[in-house]
Every structure is written in structure tokens, then in C-alpha cells.
Structure 1
Amino acid sequence: MQSFNAFEPGLLIPQLSADVEFYPFDSNTYLVKHGLLGHQLRVSKAIMQVLELVDGERPIQTIATQMSVQLKSAVSSQLVFDMLYKGRLSQCGIVLSEQTVASKKADAYIWAKIILLKAHQIDKLCDWLAPLFRPKFFYALFMLLLVYLLTLILSQSIDIAKFAHWKFGPSMALYFYGIFILSTLLHEIGHAAACRHFNVRHGHIGLGMYLLAPVFFADVSDAWRVSKYKRLVIDLAGIFMELLFYSLISVVYFCIDNQLVLQLILLRLIGTTANLNPFLRFDGYWALCDLTNEPNLRTKSNALFQQTLTWLFSSTKSPLKTTRDYLMVTYASVSWFVIIFFIASSLLYNSGAIMYAPHHLVRLIERIIQNWDTITITSIWQSITQLLLPLLFYYMLIRLLTPLVIRFWKRLQHRKLHYMRTRY
């Protein structure tokens, strides 16, 4: 790569990475992805026009001249230089520069990852399942399975009170966690199989930690190359596979007439429904990202929400111009309201549980180890609820304070730098 110090901006010959891929995203933007490092950017038509002129031979001055002709407006060499080298294009390795670019950490919100199934190990299964995700057939069967399971549960007399006192012994644990592991694995395989149907590369399936709890995950980041309606099928494919799995399990109920089967299906359906939560990075969040055509919905909505607050309390210009802007601000507002309300109500009504959460965690572990055969679903649930809310409180508090701390630290560093410059 040529040194920036050796040339004037107009004489520099830019080069794109050999691993760059381009996809149309919508009518106004494109997706630019670094296939090796995993970085991807959403760029405008104008930036895409510039990138199409970068061939490793044209200097920036020539690119600026040709852009001026295409846009019928003067484009300076400095503007093209800044566009290529002073933004995300060089930071993500799309345009080669002097800086070292690290690989993107896929699903950075999931930590302590362990790969369970390599992509090639599930290719044949995905090929077999792929026909299920033809959109018309997929949505029809999705609704049919959902209606069938709800009808089955509502038509049967499920004695929840009786189920709550089942002994949580080895056999009960085997049933519950066996269904849980199979359904969640099928959930992730569903995402991968849907990718396969739309000719999109899928990655590995693994296990990691999210919100202090273990979760399965599938790498389907390449799905952004297809239309939002196809991405929506990929988003819902995991829930679809769970519904299909529960429907097959229900056949066991009719064969052995054991209500425990229905009770376990009901518990798992509750967990499946939780996946539609749009405020956490579950399937519901990604579906909302696709419906709004915004890959970074949380970041963009929070930024727009901050601009709106600035507008409301100062004389700046309103950032809300389209219906989509209002929807994104509403999403961010509700999200922050839920966080602040939960933190405030927890401090007001549940301060004791927050303070003694570490003690309750130790007690729960001791009870599981020492009294395994006598533990009931009720006692386990009570212990979990004692811990779940305090741990969720700490998570939301950290999420609320982290941006404020980072902003304060940056301002402190800026003032320190300003002081050093004025002093010396």
C-alpha cells in the first residue's frame, strides 16, 4: 500500500481488498462485505459508484473527475480521498490502507462460544430440510402448526398445579433437558436450512453465553445478501422447526396418553414465544431489523432517539423526517422505558433480593448437589426467579451506565488533551 505521506490525495491510487463482495440491499443502498474479515457496511449509491471506479489503476484525481461527470456536479479529489480513507471503508479493510484491520467478532454479544457442529457437518440435513422453507408453503405450515398446538393444549385439561409438584429427579431432568436440547438444536438447524434454500452461506452452530445464560447460536450473517422477505423466513425458521418438533412429540401423547408430554410441550412453547421479544437479540429482534430494513436497529434507533432528545431540549433541527424515523424513535423509547422502569421498580420493591443474590445462588447450587431427588419443579422455579430478576437488574444497570461512562471518559480524555496542548 502506498504511503499517504508520499503523494497528494489526488495522486494516490486506491485499491480494494481481494475479498470484497457487493450486493444490492434495497433500491437506494448496497451491502459491501469483506468476505475474509467478516466486516460489512451499508453504503449509498454514490459511494458504490466510487467503489466501482476503484480498480487499482485509476488515481483518486481520475476517479473524482469521472464522478463529477456521472453526478453532473463537481467532486473534489479531497472528498473522494476522505470517503475512501477517513471512514469505515478503510477501517473495515474494504479499501486497503496502512492501518491493520482485525477480523469482526461475529455475534459479539454472545461470549464464551463453543462450536458444536461445523457448517459442513449439517449440509446434508439442511439440503433435506430446505424445501420446507419455500415462502408460501412455509407460512401456511407455520400457521397450521401453531394453531394445532394451541388447540391441543387448550382442549386438554392440563393440571399445572399437579405438574408443579413433580419431583425433579433424573428421569424428569432427562425428559425436560432432552426436549430442550433437541428443540434448540433443531431451532438453529432451521436457520441454516432456510439459508440453504435461498442459496445463502450458513456458518457453524455453537453454544455460548448471552444475558448470563447459555444459548445456542447459528452464524447466518450472510443472509443480508437476500431480500428482507427472504430474511424474514430465515428469522422465523428456528421457531418453525420448534413448532414442527413439538407437533411430532404430541403424537407420543396420543400413543401413551401421558399428560407430562403436553406439560413439557407447554413449557417449551413459553420459551419459544420468548424468542419473539424484540428488545433482546432474539429472533423477534432480527425479524424487526429485517422488516425495517435496518441491520443495526438498536444502534441506529438509539442514535436517532438521542438526536430527538437534543432537538426537544434545544434549538436544533428535527431529525424526524419519515414514518420510519418515528417508528425507530418509538422503538428506542419503549426499550429505554422498559430498562429504566425495571431498574427503578427492582430497587423499590426487590432491593433485598438484589443485595442477597450471590447468597441465593450459592444456596441453589448446594440444594441441587445435596438434595437432587427431593427437589420439585416448584422449588427450582422459586429459586430461579429469586436469581433471574436480580441478575437481569445488574445486566440492565450495566447496559444503562456503560454508554454514560464511555461518554464521560471520552470527554475527560478530550479535556486532558486540550489542556496538554494549551499548556505546551
Structure 2
Amino acid sequence: MTTVEASQSATWARPRLRPGVVLGPGVWRDGKLVHHVMDPETGWYYRVGPREHFLMSRMDGTRGLDDLAGEYATAYQRRLGPENWQQLFGMLHQRQLLHGATDPDALAELTASAAAGAAKARRGPLSARLPLFDPQRLFTRVLPWLAPVFTWWFVVPALLLALAVAGYVVWQLPELAGGVGGGRPLPAILIAVVVTWLIVFLHECAHGLTCRHFGGRVTEIGVMWRFPLLAPYCKVDDVVLFTPRRRVATAFAGVFVSMLALVPFAALRLWGPPDGMLYDLAGTMLLFGTATAAINLVPFLRLDGYHMLSHALNLADLRADTYRFYRRLLRQGPQAVRDYRPRDRLAYALYGLASALFAGTVLSLLIHYWYTTLARWVGPGWSITILIAEAALLTALLTHHTRRRPAPPRPR
């Protein structure tokens, strides 16, 4: 037996995952429990079932196959046969996850395919991403200085302060809206655009720093195009490896920092000079900043509020799974969704109904506003014709985009 064969034989006898491979906790996806597996060397994120996760989590080089089989039989009341081991090790070998049994060429191919998939996902007519730099080192250096902000001694008072600012904006809403609509603060609005962009950047950094605080990697900061907006983004894919509470905290961190950034403007509005550029700027920032934070928390848009709700329910993709749930329910009847947990059936049913109500309300308001605007310009008859043509064009574009959209190369 050669040295290589002896090494591989030892690897199979007492299997161990490669250093750096991380197994995430269970999360529910389409009625099934799955676990995410992160391979930092190749950049891939995989999904495995709970039984594969059970065995992989015990592959630490100290247990032989008999030990693993015994623990599995105790947990699942089922013995593993040769075909089961062949299937498991075939998957581990294909993904190059076993220590001492890797092929450099296969690793390079996996790395290249992950990078190519990520680059392809960045391009699109309605959404695209332009990476700018890797913030991992910067966040690692800054994080020790920010340790106090992750304690309850800071979070609770800061949250109360943010809620106080939101309450002040609601209380002063007529005055703030009147100031913006009156045409006085046009210079303040222009300055507010720049300041808002800086706050959005801090918002994204808050996501990244929170992810890094919980042990995740933050590999990318850049600029994102999501029609019709252009804004910074921070890539925090490692949240799939966190517990639900930590995932919720990471998703909420951005809105939290955005609201805290409005505190100086509230102070300026309350105790500063009652007129002038700074007063107008403070009012503009409070109005639009609070509105942006509120929109971010709406759980029917794929923003922070949506991710917070998904994480709180421990569901991988609430919207996509809700579509699948209703498609099965409407096509095949209640029998088709009996495999779902009762709490998931309730979550999907309520979220689907609430989403439809929200979308219908927003669409009705938009159509009414656009119709009344067109009617003033071209009359009622042409207004209806234009609305029908726009609806047909939008439907065709969405259908075309949906058919051509590639499947995501890795889970998010």
C-alpha cells in the first residue's frame, strides 16, 4: 500500500471535515428542515438534510464508521447500510469536504464555479451589483472598539431613543411634511440626498459589523442597482450559519443605526435655531429618514423587515415558500400541504393573505393616482388606453425576465 493510499484509508476509517468548514443550525425550507454548510476555501454554501448534518457534525477524526453508525442508530432507530455510506461519502468527495481526501484541481474548479455564479447573479436589467472592496480586515480591526455597542447596556437605551425620535416625527408630521412640500427647503433636500447616502452606507456597515461580531465573514461592500434606486450594499451571506436570534439582530442592525443617525437632527430641530438651512435640513432628514426606516421594516418587501420576519420564524425564504405552499394548496387541495408543520401552514397562509392585501392596496392607490394624473393631461378615454398598454407591457417584461432568470448558484 502506498503512502497516499494509506492516508486515504485512514481518512475513510476516521473521517474528518476539512478545517474551516462550518455547519449551520437547522432552518425550515418548503416544509423540510435543512442545514447550511459553508466552505470558505471554495466560497460555496451547500444545503444538507438533518441526517447528513448529524453524521457530518460528528466527523471530527476521533470516531470510526462503527461509532458513527451506532450513534446514528440510537438517534434515528435505523442502521446505515453500505449504500448509505456510499451516497454520503460520494457527496462529501464531490464537494471536497473531507480532510485528507481533496483534489487541488477539483477545489480550483469549485472555487471558479462559485465565483462565476456570483458574478452572473450580479448582472441584470432590474438589479445588479458592483463590488468595491473587501471589508473583512477593516471590520476586524474596528470591532474591538465597538464592543460596548453590542451590549444590552447600550442597545436598550439606544432603542428607546430611536423610538422617541420616531414618535417625535409622527407628532410633528404635518409641520415636517408642510415644510418639505412648501418649496422652502430645496437646498436642504439636495444636501439631504448626500447625507442620506452616507446614512445608508452606515446602515450597510452595521449589517456587516453585526455579522462579524457573531463570527461571520463579510467579504464584499459595493454599490447595488435595484430599479429605480442606486445604493450601497454589504454582503453577509454567513448569516445562514447563525441562530435565528442572531440572524434577526443582523437584519435589524441597519435600520437601528439609520434611526440612531437621526438623533442629531431631532436635537437640532428641537433646540437649534427655529429657521434657516440647518432647521430645514433637520426636518427633511427626519421626515425622509423615518419614512425610509419604516419602509425597510415592511415585511412584504424584500428588505430588512422581510428578512427579520423570515429569521424570526426560522424559515429560509418566506416569500418563495409561501408561493409554493399556495400553488400546491390551490392545485392539489389540503392533502398536498399536510406534510408542513402546523405553525408553518399558519405562517404561509397568513403571510400570503397579508401580502395579497398589501399588494392590492398599493396597486390600487398607484393606479388611481396615475389615472387621475393622466386624465388631467389627455382625458379619461386615453387614460384607460394608456393604463391597459402599460399593464400589458409590464406583464410581458416580467414574464420574460422570470423565464430567463437563472437559478441562484448558491443559497442566500
Q: TM-score scaled to structure 2, two decimals?
A: 0.68
Structural mapping, 1:116-155, within 5 Å:
118-135=135-152, 137-151=154-168, 154-155=171-172
In structure 1, what is the equivalent of residue 21 of structure 2?
Answer: 20
Q: Distance in 2 between matches of 1:198 and 1:322?
A: 31
- Paired letter, 1:160: A
Are 1:105 and 2:118 counterparts?
Answer: yes
Structural mapping, 1:165-204, within 5 Å:
165-166=182-183, 171-172=187-188, 174-204=190-220
Are 1:324 and 2:344 counterparts?
Answer: yes
In structure 1, what is the equivalent of residue 84 of structure 2?
Answer: 79
Which 5+ residue runs of structure 1 have no aligned equivalent? 1-10, 355-385, 410-424
Secondary structure of 1:182's aligned partner: helix
Aligned pair partner of 1:282 in 303, 322, 330: 303
Q: TM-score scaled to structure 1, two decimals?
A: 0.66
Q: What is the deviation of 1:287?
A: 0.4
Q: Distance in 2 between matches of 1:276 and 1:164?
A: 25
Contact 1:116/1:205 (<8 A) preserved: yes
Q: Distance in 2 between matches of 1:351 and 1:300?
A: 34
In structure 2, what is the equivalent of residue 370 of structure 1?
Answer: none
In structure 1, what is the equivalent of residue 283 of structure 2?
Answer: 262
- Paired letter, 2:128: W
Q: Distance in 1 between matches of 2:212 and 2:336?
A: 48
- Paired letter, 2:342: T
Contact 1:111/1:209 (<8 A) preserved: yes
Which 5+ residue runs of structure 2 have no aligned equivalent? 1-11, 375-385, 407-412
In structure 2, what is the equivalent of residue 381 of structure 1?
Answer: none
Q: Deviations over 1:84-125 (max 9, x none)?
A: 546xx6776647797953216399475232326733234444
Contact 2:265/2:285 (<8 A) preserved: no
Contact 1:304/1:319 (<8 A) preserved: no
Change (3 A) 1:69 1:234: closer
Q: What is the deviation of 1:219?
A: 1.9
Structural mapping, 1:169-248, within 5 Å:
171-172=187-188, 174-248=190-264
Contact 1:191/1:238 (<8 A) preserved: yes
Contact 1:202/1:220 (<8 A) preserved: yes
Contact 1:22/1:33 (<8 A) preserved: yes
Structural mapping, 1:324-343, within 5 Å:
324-335=344-355
Contact 1:133/1:237 (<8 A) preserved: no
Change (3 A) 1:154 1:220: same
In structure 1, what is the equivalent of residue 383 of structure 2?
Answer: none
Greater shift, 60-69 or 129-138, is seen at 60-69
- Paired letter, 1:288: L
Secondary structure of 1:158's aligned partner: helix
Are 1:47 and 2:75 counterparts?
Answer: no
Identity between Structure 1 and Structure 2 (%): 18
Q: How many residues align?
A: 358
Contact 1:307/1:319 (<8 A) preserved: no
Q: Distance in 2 between matches of 1:118 and 1:219?
A: 10
- Paired letter, 2:338: S
In structure 1, what is the equivalent of residue 266 of structure 2?
Answer: 250
| Higher RCO (C-alpha under 8 Å, 6+ residues apart) | 2
In structure 1, what is the equivalent of residue 317 of structure 2?
Answer: 296
Secondary structure of 1:214's aligned partner: strand
Q: Distance in 1 between matches of 2:94 and 2:357?
A: 34
